[in-house]
Amino acid sequence: MKVIEQLLANAGISPIAGVDEAGRGACAGPLVIASVVLNNPFAAELAVVRDSKEIAENKRDAVFDLIHNIAASVSVIIVPARDVDSRGVHAANLDGMRRAVQGLTVEPAYVLTDGYAIEGLGVPNLAVWKGDQVVVSISAASVVAKVVRDRIMREMDLEFPQYGFAGHKGYITAAHTQALNEHGPCAQHRRSFANIAALIHK
Annotated binding site: 20-21, 114
Q: Which residues of 170-181 are buried (b: 16+ CB within 10 A; e: fewer)?
A: bebeeebeebbe
Picking from 99, 95, 93, the residue whose alpha carbon sits closest to that of residue 114 is: 93
Binding positions for a divalent metal cation: 20-21, 114
| Cα angle: 194, vertex 20, 85; to 5 degrees | 30
Contact between residue 137 and residue 37 where contact means Cβ atoms under 8 Å apart: yes
d(CA 180, CA 177): 5
The answer to whether 83 and 92 have CB atoms below 8 angstroms apart is yes
Q: What are phi and psi of 167, to 5 degrees?
A: -90, -60
Q: Beta 16-22 vs 110-114: how paired, if at all?
A: parallel
